[in-house]
Amino acid sequence: MKLGDAIRLAVGTLTTVPVPAPRVIDRGVAGAAMVLAPVAAVPLAAVAGLIVAGGGAVGLPALAVAALALGAVELGSRGLHLDGLADTADGLGASYDRAKALDVMRRGDAGPTGVATLVFVLLVQAGAAAGAVAAGHGVVAVVAGVLTGRCTLSMSCARGVPSARPDGLGATVAGSVPLPVAVGVGVVAAAVAALAPGLPWWQGVAAVVAGYGAAALLLVRCVRRLGGITGDVLGAGVEVAVAAALLVLAA
């Protein structure tokens, strides 16, 4: 069944949860996996929420609680998206030559631009999450931020978005999600966020819009500079979306 393969692909790729390998990986399965990305990330978001709740219960400082929660999410996703963020930053900062930029991204070692970008984005995420914890809605903010980041994957893989390379994860998932489905994921995400307990309805919606906006800006930049997406670009989009959503939710 393709749905089963899509679930296994989403969970096995985006988390450390052990699952059997998909029997078939084609464009249909790949697209469905990107749509199901937020579902696959629910266990990560739940763990982060439990850490925030537990840290608050024992009186840990807000920043420490936020760092522990976000760190658990990164460990639970193998640091996959952080690696993509660093590689994408290095590639975009290395050269205006497309081939050279893609070569830098393929190497996998983090250069100064990648390291600086990682530090900046992680500081924004942790600081914003700490603000939400201090304001009393840290659990909701962390869960919503983590899931919003994964929701943007369907947008980045929507029909019409090309792959920067003929091989790799980007080539497998690029353009694999029908545009109406990608739009639908965003609408559902905003509708669910509007119902988030402890927040005014508009704040949840604004967080989703901010997350999508940040990921979309990066996506446009990468398509123009690199010719399309790679697996690294997808990971980078997730991280900037989480940061943007958490900033809105920190208020």
Collapsed DSSP state (helix, strand, coil) of residue 251: coil
The dihedrals phi and psi of 163, each to the nearest 5 degrees, come to -95, 140
Q: Alpha-carbon distance 197 to 215, whole Å?
A: 25
Q: According to the model, what pLDDT value does residue 57 have? A: 93
Domain locations in the chain as residue ranges: 38-249
pTM: 0.95
CA 251 to CA 249: how far, in whole Å?
Answer: 5
| Cα angle, residue 115 at apex, residues 110 and 120 outer, rounded to 5° | 150
Report, as ranges of residue numbers, the positions in the chain whose pLDDT lies below 70.
1
pLDDT at site 126: 97
Look at residue 21 in the predicted model and tell me its pLDDT: 84
8 Å CB contact between 226 and 98: yes
pLDDT at residue number 166? 86
Q: How far is residue 119's CA from residue 86's CA, in Å, rounded to a whole number?
A: 10
